[in-house]
Amino acid sequence: MSPSRWSLRARINGEDHRVTPKELLFDVVYVFAFIQVTDWIAKEFTWRATAEGLTVLAILWWVWISWAWLGNVMRADKGLPLAGFIVSMVAVFGLTITIPDLWEAEGGGLAPLAFTGFYVLIRVIHAAVFFWGARDDARIRRQILLSTAAWIPAAGLLMAGALAEPQERLYWWIGTVALDIVATWVLSVKGPGWKVHSGEHFAERFDLVVILAIGESVLAVGITAAGIDLNPELMAIALLGVLIAIALWWPYFKDVGPTLENALKEADAEHRNDLARDAYTYLHLPLIMGILLVSAGNKGAVTAIELEQPSGDSALLMAGGAALVALTCALLMRLAGGTSRWLVASAVFFALAMLWMPQIDPTIATLVTIVVLSTVGWLTPATRNRKSVTIASNEEN
């Protein structure tokens, strides 16, 4: 029997499709991206640096989202989609290595221009591969064209920011993120909408990127601690860094993730598409942001030991990140029809803690975060008490 020839043909997925090894390899690049964003935020502990880091994260997230939807519709490890994933993976790495120089480079500098160029390349390849692979699905093809109409002007703002002076770049790129997010959502609601082929694949794909973000928090602490002379205080804060990763894992993977996956499985086709858009595409971005803010705070606590200059900035980031994680988890549980009261209470607690946690010892602040998140994860049931809801439905439009 002769070996099968390689074909450009896309393999459309069924309802039982699972995440492929190629998608896992693609996501590994995002571990590096998460580390780069965390390092930038923790470098200065300023509001501007935080905004810059989160803006880059949002742009990278929108790249990841586009390929996550494509991989749900057609296999990522076969035919032309495989070639698209390979090229885009290399381009995402190219995006990521520019992050340390993005915000200080002069207008027209290598880093911002390369970042913009790689972004455009990834989006063009994605649109072309998706449009070609979905040639038998008029609905998806129309949605691809509408989404392209959203990201092209967003890419224009990205280029304008790359050419602008460093102090102006942030405002242009915030506009990029806002335009892409708003236009894509409106065109998805008013247009034919995307189509989820496998709810199990979709839930698994997002579970994996969340665990990678949490894993990055362990790496950030470990890499930072490895460059400092060992002492009891350093060992304590480093070990607490692992515990805080577990505390971040607990509410999501015990409660939120399984509840969302069950909601996807039980929803009808149109409602499942809307739930995937609202809960996964949009609300998982602030979840990842919150995790990375906690990671940056943890990294800052370790760095403060080396500098022997305790600072409340790390605790402020930790509390703010934990509040964002808890609030997002509460919204996700509500969309999925789950119980959210303990998550809401912890979000309020951490929001108020931003006022007093910077005043206490970083080790105590880390312990407080661990205890509260773990308790909420333990108290929140992974069950649904009502039907899931979505912000808007394509059927209604």
With tokens 């290598």, the residue in question is 110
What's the pLDDT score for residue 5? 60
Average pLDDT over residues 170-199: 90
Residues of the chain with pLDDT > 90: what percent?
65
What are the chain's domains? Answer: 20-195 (no CATH), 198-382 (1.20.1410)
Alpha carbon separation from 195 to 123, 138, 141, 266, 301 (Å, rounded) = 19, 11, 11, 16, 44
Q: How confident is the model over 17-31, as pLDDT tens digits?
A: 999 999 999 999 999
Q: How confident is the model over 244-294, as pLDDT tens digits?
A: 999 999 999 998 999 999 998 888 887 899 999 999 999 999 999 999 999
First to last CA, the chain: 53
Q: Please indicate whether residue 130 or residue 309 has the higher confidence score (pLDDT).
A: 130
SS3 335: helix
pLDDT above 80 for 394: no
Average pLDDT over residues 2-24: 80
What's the pLDDT score for residue 192? 84
Q: Residue 236: CB partners within 8 Å, gap ≥ 6? A: 363
Verdict on whether the full-model pTM lies above 0.75: yes
